[in-house]
Structures are given as C-alpha cells and as structure tokens.
A = this chain, B = another copy of it.
C-alpha cells in the first residue's frame, strides 16, 4: 500500500503537505492540492491509513461495550433488555460520531479484552467481578459500570431496584395476594435452582448487586404484610432459560402471584400459562421487570417495573464521552400496571 511519503514523492512535495491535503486542505495552495490528488489517484492512495493516525493521536474514536458477567455479545442482543441498552448506547455514539465496539471475551479473557480493546472508553455490563474494574482503571480510560456501585471513584449507573421491587410487592399485596413466589436470576450456568422455604438459609444472598437489591425490595414489601422472604419459594434461572415458566407451575402451584427479575422471565410464565390453559391474571398474577418494549405486547400486557433502558445506555455513553469526575447515578423506576395482575381468585 502506498503511504503519504510515496504520494509526496510522486507529486514532488513533502509528506507533511500530502497530509495537509487530506486533513487541512485549506492550508494548501490550489495547484499543489490538484497535483497531490492526482498523484494519490495514480498510486491508488485513498487517504491516510488509520493505523498511523491511531498511534500518533492515541484516539480510536470508539467506545467499547462489554457484556456483563459470563455473557457473550450475542446473548446481549438476544435479550430484550440488552437490545434496548445497546440501542441507547448506539444512539449516543451516532450523535458523537463514534464507533460502538461490541467486545467479546468471557470470564478468563475479559481482563485482556479490556487491556487490548481499541477504544477510548468502556461501558461495563453489571458484574460482581472487582478484577474487571481494576483492569478498567489500569487502562486509564473513562468507563462506566452498570448496575453495580463500585464506590465514589468509579462512574456507575444503576436503577433503584429496591424501590421497584418494593412497589411490585405493594401492588400485589394491595390486590390481596399473600402467596408469592420469586423468579430470581441464577448467575452460574445450569438448570433452575429451586429454594423451597424451610432450608434455613437466608434468601437474600446474591452475588450481584442488581439481584441483591431487588431481593431486598421484595423482602421489604413482604415484611409490610408480615411475611418473611425466607418463607417465599425462590427459583433461580439463568437468563434465557426457557423452562422458567414450567418450573413455576410445577414447583410452586400454590402461589397466586409471581415476582420476577425480568420481563423475559415473566413472559416465559405467560407462555407456559397459555400452553397449560391457565388464565392470567385470573389464576395467577405476574409482574415483570425492566419495562421492555416486549412487555407491552404480550397477552395480557405485562405489569412490570419499568426503567428507561435506552436512556441508561445513552447516559452511560455520554458519561464516557464526557470523561468528567466520577458520578454515581441512580435512575428511577416506575411500576407500570397492565393486565397481568389482578385480585387473587376468591
């Protein structure tokens, strides 16, 4: 491939002038400009190679998105939540004229991904892994972590999951529900884990801040009607686990209301209900979480704890671009009551 210097040689000007023709054309006399362009055309030179510019300028004009935990980018795009998040990030990138790099790298390679990514900053999906944050800090690039508060030195954005969970329980409690079950998130791979009350182990032990906060909110709401979360069955499923709905009906048939940690989980319950001919909300109330676009289109439409997912993505990207003093942002949630919740039968 020809270089600036090659073009300069053919045009009879210096490297610097050729660079100016492409980057600061106003500085170059018209006839020289022509001559350089002609030489470039002749050599098939199509403009300065970005590789050289990267080293010289130290900028990539891109931000990186790292999926949370053990997920791949494909998992993010598959999930309604992930899609809306990436959508928000992409809107901000578009506005800033930056590229959005979706960076793969599971567990072991995650740290080297951070070290080597060709980006000017990061957005890290929620994670319990403190190493990741250390890696990001070492890179000395601006970054934001989502759904984990990593202290005052680290940018973070999370929703007020506790309040959202609390609002969900209060809503169901006000309708008269007293028999609950919780669909929580399994953070390791494998089949659903079912905690039936009586094991003695406290339910509120979650590795991820996201999960933990919501469980605390559920517990608080339950406490208000004199129930203990330790007496509520909790099913942990990995995101995307299709059997989540079936497990609910098979293992906690006595529940009249299901609290979930994602619309996705709630939708599997809806789907399974249709499959079994169980009427929602008459027989069972279901509350989703996140307020994804999907939640409005289910049958019945889902009552859900809504957050502004795309707004969160946009804000995250903007914080990376701004590269200002670290901030910890907590975004509000709002219970959106739709058709999937009703008074319990009888």
Contacts and interface: CB of A to CB of B under 8 A. Distances in A.
B93 A87 contact: no
Contacts of A109: 97
Q: Could you say how many copies of this chain the assembly holds?
A: 2
Contact of A94 (B46, B74, B299): B74
Contact of A55 (B1, B51, B73): B51
A138 interface: yes
Interface string A81-103: 00100110011011001111111
A158 to B, nearest CB: 22
Contacts of A58: 51
Interface stretch (A114-122, A191-199, A229-237): A114-122
Given A54-B55, A78-B87, A115-B46, A98 B104 contact: yes
A73 B54 contact: no
Interface string A39-76: 00000101100111111001010101000000011100
A329 interface: no
Contacts of A86: 77
A77 B286 CA distance: 28
A227 B272 CA distance: 45
A102 B115 CA distance: 20
B46 A73 contact: no
A52 to B, nearest CB: 6
Contact of A46 (B55, B90, B138): B138
Contact of A90 (B1, B73, B299): B73
Most chain B CB within 10 A, of A44, A98, A99, A118, is at A99
Most chain B CB within 10 A, of A1, A47, A118, is at A118
Interface residues of A, number: 47
Given A54-B51, A55-B52, A299-B299, A100 B73 contact: yes
B83 A118 contact: no
A60 B99 CA distance: 14
Nearest to A45: B138
A251 interface: no
A140 interface: yes
Contacts of A97: 104-105, 109
A139 interface: yes
Contacts of A47: 112, 115-116
B118 A60 contact: yes
Contacts of A54: 51, 54-55, 118
A302 to B, nearest CB: 14
A74 B139 CA distance: 28
A52 B51 CA distance: 9
Interface string A279-304: 00000000000000000010100000
13 contacts: A44-B138, A46-B139, A50-B117, A64-B99, A73-B93, A74-B90, A77-B90, A78-B87, A83-B83, A90-B104, A99-B103, A99-B104, A100-B101
Closest 9 CB pairs of A and B: A46-B138, A55-B55, A73-B90, A100-B102, A94-B104, A77-B87, A72-B94, A74-B90, A74-B91
